Amino acid sequence: MVTTLRCFDEQTASDSFNISTFILHLVLSTPLHLVLSSPSSFVLPIHSLLLTQWSATATEELSHPEIKSVPANFTMIQYFEWYAEGNGVHWKKFSKESKRLGDMGITAAWLPPPTCASSTESTGYDIYDLYDLGEFDQKGGQRTHWGTKEELVSAIETAKGNGVLTYIDAVLNHKAGADKTETFQATEVDSNDRNKEITDAYDIDGWTGFSFPGRGDKYSKLKWNFNHFTGVDWDDKGKKKSIFKIHGDGKTWAKSVSGENGNYDYLMFADIDHHHPEVIEDLNNWGTWILKESGAAGFRFDAIKHIDREFIGQFVKHVRKEIGNDKLFCVGEFWEDSLGSLENYVDTLGTQFSVFDCPLHYNFKEAGERGAEFDMRQIWDGTIVQSRPIDAVTLVDNHDTQRGQSLESWVNPQFKPLAYALILLRVDGYPCVFYGDLYGCGGDNPQEPVTQLEDFIRARKWYAYGELRDYSDHQNCLGWVRMGDEEHPDGCAVVLSNGGDGFKRMEVGKERAGQKWTDLLGWKQGEVVIGEDGWAEFPCNAVSVSIWVKEDAKFRDTFKKD
């Protein structure tokens, strides 16, 4: 038996008014995390103006070619999954695909680590040489897992021409694949409490000598040794695996890191000492160098909860100053399902910085698992996008949460269309689409792409603009209207249900009276006629989404189904 959810909200949104001057003043004079919300049921997309300014400035001040026809809505893609094809073909695929990505509405791509890892078959998180982008014969060959430096630079340039900026995945927590062992004093620590030493100091042989024989002194003369690290997890002398804290003058774990396991400075491999002056200088130089060398427009920082917060703050400020762009986009992976921890990190970093909305991902996971038992009105609870929308990069899944990986927490595929509607078609946050959801995932647990995800992205590109009018009076069925703006006047109405068939009575404006609207996804058949009062009833199927747009709206012919 099909249950119909009668979900509607008769409250009338306040009258339209001219806010352009006020918005300009707000953008120029308020903290970045402030978002203007009306006391009624609509929200003004202040974050879109800020993000537009942010990304446009990043493009101009890095002397990139002009990005043509960039839509006002910015959308990122994580352009890889853990099992994406390596063999040196990935940069070429990105170059080839960038036109399709730009056409559908992708405006930026977070690329996998482009730097030399301990093996040419590694995804790149076991970092060996930051200054080798696939240029030197090291660790089994010249290319990285993803391709050569020449292919990388060419792909980034091609993507720019297609309206897609790129972000570098900066792996600054550790180094791997050392060229030699060194003897030094260390103590073993309790893996559950890294502040607790469980042995006296003794000599161990650790893999901490990095001489980079393939690169030599090109780009950087620093040869890394044990003084540049705080810990390792292997004593080659005693053939013992443990967490070893390296001894030295003033050397200890970083203080401004996650408090998990007592102190979560140490994660893996040879842990970098971010207080060492030679390390700070070399990494700062690399940050400026790689942007200029590659043509990229920003950073995604890996594993920042394991890196001294003061180092990340000064690194970001240093690179922005050297590049001459104080709005260079930076986002960090602080993977912790705790709003308080994320807010504290952003508040104390000392400069604007975005974080991935880990709590939102886990809300999506819970919603997908619980089905109709989950109250969709609580989907934003405890999230960064609700608390600090200008600092939130929203996501559904990533390479760590996919099946078989270290943080596996895969969102139920049946729920994913709802999740993508929530991050792509509303106002707040900077959405990041996962490669595995657009192309599918490989490995031992292959996953199919999300059905018609490209259409969701296109809907964001063409229709998700203007005031947001929310209709959230039912636990299973949510609806909202985007009223459109001067450049994108069509707008859209979105209805989703995590239970049975549902519908929402929503207002799209008297000026649209008599118009016929259809579901651009083609998942709900029929048409909706807008009443003389500007209201209409918009339906959706059970556990599904419908995106309603005027049947003759601009660019409707770019969608797969109608």
For residues 415 and 318, membership in a common domain is answered with: yes
The structure tokens 């038996």 sit at 1
Distance CA 415, CA 277 (A): 48
Inform me whether the pLDDT recorded for 138 exceeds 70.
yes
**In the chain, how many domains are there?**
2
Structure tokens at 341: 């921890």
For residues 256 and 220, membership in a common domain is answered with: yes
Active-site residue flag, 333: yes
Residues 267, 260: contact at Cβ < 8 Å?
no
DSSP H stretches of helix in 114-246: 149-161
Question: What local confidence, expressed as pLDDT, does residue 271 receive?
Answer: 99
Structure tokens at 514: 């008599």
Question: What local confidence, expressed as pLDDT, does residue 365 receive?
Answer: 99
Quick one: average pLDDT of 543-559?
A: 96
Distance CA 111, CA 107 (A): 13
Residues 314, 349: contact at Cβ < 8 Å?
no
Residue 212 CB-half CA count within 13 A: 23
Phi, psi of 299 (to 5 degrees): -130, 145
Question: What local confidence, expressed as pLDDT, does residue 72 receive?
Answer: 76
User: 31-45, 136-150, 548-562 — which is least confidently predicted?
Assistant: 31-45
Residue 492 maps to a domain: no
Residue 497 maps to a domain: no
Question: What local confidence, expressed as pLDDT, does residue 250 receive?
Answer: 86
Residue 142 maps to a domain: yes
- As beta bridge partners, residue 174 has 271
For residues 443 and 309, membership in a common domain is answered with: yes
For residues 352 and 450, membership in a common domain is answered with: yes
Question: What local confidence, expressed as pLDDT, does residue 120 receive?
Answer: 96
Catalytic residue among 188, 333, 454, 455: 333
Question: What local confidence, expressed as pLDDT, does residue 534 receive?
Answer: 99
Quick one: average pLDDT of 472-495?
A: 98
For residues 206 and 151, membership in a common domain is answered with: no
pLDDT band at 561 (very low <50, low <70, confident <90, very high): low
Out of 251, 272, 293, a domain closes at 272
pLDDT digits over 523-532, tens only?
999 999 999 9
Residue 415 maps to a domain: yes
Inform me whether the pLDDT recorded for 490 exceeds 80.
yes
Inform me whether the pLDDT recorded for 502 exceeds 80.
yes
For residues 249 and 369, membership in a common domain is answered with: no
For residues 205 and 72, membership in a common domain is answered with: no
Inform me whether the pLDDT recorded for 489 exceeds 80.
yes
Catalytic residue among 97, 302, 437, 490: 302
pLDDT digits over 530-539, tens only?
999 999 999 9
Distance CA 77, CA 517 (A): 30
pLDDT digits over 220-265, tens only?
999 999 999 999 999 999 999 999 999 998 899 999 999 999 999 9
Inform me whether the pLDDT recorded for 60 exceeds 50.
no
For residues 161 and 114, membership in a common domain is answered with: yes
Inform me whether the pLDDT recorded for 361 exceeds 70.
yes
pLDDT digits over 309-355, tens only?
999 999 999 999 999 999 999 999 999 999 999 999 999 999 999 99
Active-site residue flag, 408: no
For residues 93 and 149, membership in a common domain is answered with: yes
For residues 76 and 112, membership in a common domain is answered with: yes
CATH number, domain of 180, equals 2.40.30.140
Parallel, antiparallel, or unpaired: how do β-strands 516-519 and 528-529 relate? antiparallel
Question: What local confidence, expressed as pLDDT, does residue 360 receive?
Answer: 99
Determine which helix (DSSP H) or strand (DSSP E) holds 319, and give its type and residue range.
helix 309-323
Positive or negative CA dihedral for 510, 515, 518, 524? positive
pTM higher than 0.85: yes
Residue 55 maps to a domain: no
Quick one: average pLDDT of 295-303?
A: 99
Residue 421 maps to a domain: yes
Question: What local confidence, expressed as pLDDT, does residue 388 receive?
Answer: 97
CB 562: neighbour CB atoms within 10 A? 12
Residue 161 maps to a domain: yes
Question: What's the mean pLDDT when you consider all of the chain?
Answer: 90
CATH number, domain of 109, equals 3.20.20.80
For residues 235 and 294, membership in a common domain is answered with: no
Phi, psi of 311 (to 5 degrees): -65, -50
Inform me whether the pLDDT recorded for 20 exceeds 80.
no
Question: What local confidence, expressed as pLDDT, does residue 68 receive?
Answer: 41
Residues 298, 58: contact at Cβ < 8 Å?
yes
Question: What local confidence, expressed as pLDDT, does residue 3 receive?
Answer: 35
For residues 156 and 196, membership in a common domain is answered with: no
Distance CA 557, CA 126 (A): 45
Residue 42 maps to a domain: no
* Residue numbers of the domain that contains 423: 68-172+280-377+398-427+435-462
- As beta bridge partners, residue 448 has none
Distance CA 95, CA 110 (A): 13
The structure tokens 């000599």 sit at 203
